[in-house]
Amino acid sequence: MSRLVMVSNRVIDFNAATQAGGVSVAIYDALTRHKGFWFGWNGQVDETENATPQVAESGGHKTVTISLTPDDYNEFYLGYSNSVLWPVLHNRLDLAQFEAGYYARYMSVNEKFASTLAPLIEPDDVIWIHDYHLVPMALELRKLGIDNPIGFFLHIPVGPAQSLLAIPEHKALARALSAYDLVGLQTQSDVRNLMDFLQQSVFGRLLPSGRMRVFDAELDISCFPVGITPSDFATPAADLPIETPEISRIIGIDRLDYTKGLPQKFRAFGKFLEEFPEHRRKIGLSQFAPPTRESVEAYADIRAELEALSGAINGRFGELDWVPINYIHRPMPRAELRDVYRSSRIGWVTPLMDGMNLVSKEYVASQDPADPGVLILSMFAGAAEQLRDAVLVNPYDPLDMVQALHTAIEMPLDERIARNAKLARTVAKGDSITWSNSYYRSLTKAGQRRIGKVAPSARMTDALKKLSSTSKKKSSLKSHEAHAEG
């Protein structure tokens, strides 16, 4: 069996971590089923450049990590990755900061990652690279002679092509993507947006086979919705019933990020209390939102905004013995997540845009099937493509948010049971094993196709070649038609 080499910007020590983001959770789960190792940044910033990777093994997981320099941290991590790619891919061009020097550092860190990893690669390894920090890494590995299957998976959404085209280096990024055998995304809508972008940026063409031709390469672009491990959240029958709080709890668990729609949520909650005074003192919103990327300006702004909003709402509606919003600036320990989800009457998950959103799936999987809570889910979370039986809501529309909250609070038991049963089936069917296995299988196949071990058929390949050379002449017109085909 081939080794699986997982690569992501940040490698987490799960024994030490109190909080883990969605990417680490997904990678860790996949590595428990494959031999191999996890390569990336150890989270440390060292003044001096240190190219020697640190190898560690714990709980059956092997990690190989390097540190970043202060310049790498500022310009690669906070800069190009989180102040350019993150906002643009989330369709927040207004927050993007195209600073000189960011892109050069982004490239040099990708080169450093590639040159440290390349000597560790064995001929049968399958390399799976995660997320927007590392788009150019496959191209750098190819330059070093690595011919193994290399796949990319983007955990965050792909905004509309028009936004992506505003990135000054968009053509170079498109070329970098062409070095992958497989590009995996979370949703069908992301697949459409990326194909549209590649067509407009570098005249990529959708082939009749469903693959995309970009420059002289062909790649597969498909969606693989990330799942969770539902058994981590289900309650064993032997467990004692979980105590539910006297005041019905609405739970919010997010990283403190402007994409998560937290101000909209707080405002809608205030409006709900204003319009439905009969529910005051009976419900409370508990929002966990630990800060991330605090030195990026937009993150400091959102923190200040939320503190002001929760203070204003608590000041206006609060009583001596009731605080409407319990806003907690810490991560929730993972061991306690299940019980907190299960004892909360409503899971309120309303990002403005989100790749998938694992919290929504964790909430569903934690519910008591005989007396489940209700999931309110943003129509702009990737998970909404799958979780159609949630109360779907437009987080930009305050009236819709207030109405959704009212519907969820008033929902009769039989409807809660029916919705939750369907949601739980969907979450179980698309679990994290399904996600990583199907991605791994597709990547292996795509890699073999590239190196000619599995040609679709000689005739088909020739036909595609002819098609591609005639259409080069009519590139812009053709690319438009190909989009219509897709």
Residues annotated as catalytic (active site), given as ranges: 155, 354
Quick one: 156 or 365, whose CB is closer to ligand ADQ?
A: 156
CB of 208 to ligand ADQ, least distance (A): 31
CB of 12 to ligand ADQ, least distance (A): 11
CB of 101 to ligand ADQ, least distance (A): 26
CB of 331 to ligand ADQ, least distance (A): 4
Closest-approach residue to ligand ADQ (CB): 22
Chain positions contacting ligand ADQ, by CB under 6 A? 19-23, 25-26, 155-156, 226, 253-255, 288, 290, 331-332, 337, 354-359, 362
Quick one: 219 or 358, whose CB is closer to ligand ADQ?
A: 358
What is the Cα–Cα distance from 41 to 137, expressed in whole angstroms? 14
Quick one: 26 or 273, whose CB is closer to ligand ADQ?
A: 26
Quick one: 94 or 336, whose CB is closer to ligand ADQ?
A: 336
What is the Cα–Cα distance from 445 to 415, expressed in whole angstroms? 43
Quick one: 321 or 336, whose CB is closer to ligand ADQ?
A: 336
- In angstroms, the Cα distances linking 105 to 75, 101, 109, 273 are 6, 6, 6, 48
CB of 336 to ligand ADQ, least distance (A): 9
CB of 24 to ligand ADQ, least distance (A): 8
Query: Is-contact 370 237, C-beta < 8 A?
Result: no
**Torsion sign across C-alpha atoms 273, 279, 280, 285:** negative
Quick one: 17 or 242, whose CB is closer to ligand ADQ?
A: 17
